[in-house]
Amino acid sequence: MDTWIFAHGDVDGICSAAIALAANPRARVFFSHPYGLVGDLDEARDHDRIIVCDISLSESHIRHLLDKFSTISEKGELIYIDHHPLPNGLTKEDIPGKVVHRVGSSASELTYSLFEHELNFMYARIAIYGAIGDYLDDTPLIQRLLEGWDKRTLYFESGLLVQAIEGRKRDYELKRNIVSNLAMNLPPSFDKRLVDLAVQHSHVEEIAIRELKHRILTLGEIAYVVGFPFSLGKTATYIKGLAGVAVGVAGEERRSMIDMSLRTNKPEIDLNKILRRIAVRFGGSGGGHPNAAGARIPKERFKEFLRELNREVEESLSKA
């Protein structure tokens, strides 16, 4: 039986994979995403040990995913670790295999909690890196773990990691190398290439911030931009702040669709629920976290989608 780790390619996914690899040092690491997971699982055999970290369950693939999970858990072993809201109507008990799921904690924290008894305390900092990278560093466990460290150093290391992988979405060789180094308990700053990439991206980010204010469009409580050559998530965050509105939307055209990231810091707005509810009306899909989510909408219906999104956002704000 071989062990495979399937993880998302952001900082939380990378740190989750590193913790899982430290506890399973002979495992193979494979990066995937919600829309590709069901196919990527075919890389492994059904009787292998599969650990899935930080990959949400896509509603459009849920039946196939659950069938695949069931086959793996019957013939091999499946461990599913995630913190994204589950698809409507699905409970933790409906997912085959060993399931570690909790909204409000990072996948890195959940992975560390599962394997903590197999690792020494030094690996706690990897869970902290991932939690910081996903804005989930205020949980009771992460705050307790932080007591054993100088938090300034850990925020530096996590920030360096965040900046280094921005714009490197499909550089899986780089990400596997990061996972390997973290699994050996080497901080990100020990890799000169990561340091150089982080500095380069920070310079690009400063230029982007200055240019963005001239590109922003607004619709009620929505600020949006399409085709700006920078990180979608960060672009959404910055245009929201620059425009002084509740929600930022940053999109890019991909064939006939617009892929987008959305950000808010308003607790009364749940982007995950809104997007899961309205995206399908426009022939698309969407979801994520309450304050950070993504969607994919047909290009010709994008403006119509924005109007409906703004209506939902203003309705949520009016109820506060």
Q: Would you say residue 87 has pLDDT above 90?
A: no
Contact indicator for 17, 53 with CB cutoff of 8 Å: yes
Residue pLDDT, tens place only, 255-308: 999 999 999 999 999 999 999 899 989 999 888 889 999 999 999 999 999 999
Mean pLDDT of 1-24: 97
Q: For residue 205, what pLDDT is reported?
A: 96
Q: For residue 303, what pLDDT is reported?
A: 96
Q: What mean pLDDT, rounded, does the chain reach?
A: 95
97 closest CA partner among 36, 177, 166, 41: 41
Q: For residue 137, what pLDDT is reported?
A: 96
Q: For residue 237, what pLDDT is reported?
A: 97
Q: For residue 170, what pLDDT is reported?
A: 86
Residue pLDDT, tens place only, 140-158: 999 999 999 999 999 999 9
CA distance 193 to 16: 21
Q: For residue 107, what pLDDT is reported?
A: 98
Q: For residue 138, what pLDDT is reported?
A: 95
Q: For residue 207, what pLDDT is reported?
A: 96
Share of the chain above pLDDT 70, in %: 100
Q: Would you say residue 16 has pLDDT above 80?
A: yes
Residue pLDDT, tens place only, 193-236: 999 999 999 999 999 999 999 999 999 999 999 999 999 999 99
Mean pLDDT of 146-171: 95
Buried b / exposed e over 23-42, threshold 16 CB at 10 Å, is bbeebebbbbbbeebbebbe
Q: For residue 67, what pLDDT is reported?
A: 94
What structural domains does the chain harbor? 3-196 (3.90.1640.30), 213-318 (3.10.310.30)
- Total Cβ atoms within 10 A of residue 79: 22
Q: For residue 167, what pLDDT is reported?
A: 81
CA distance 28 to 24: 9
Q: For residue 241, what pLDDT is reported?
A: 97
Residue pLDDT, tens place only, 23-47: 999 999 999 998 899 999 999 988 8
- Total Cβ atoms within 10 A of residue 233: 17
pLDDT tier, 169 (very low <50, low <70, confident <90, very high otherwise): confident
pLDDT tier, 60 (very low <50, low <70, confident <90, very high otherwise): confident
Q: For residue 285, what pLDDT is reported?
A: 87
Query: Which tokens go with 239?
Result: 């245009």
CA distance 299 to 219: 17
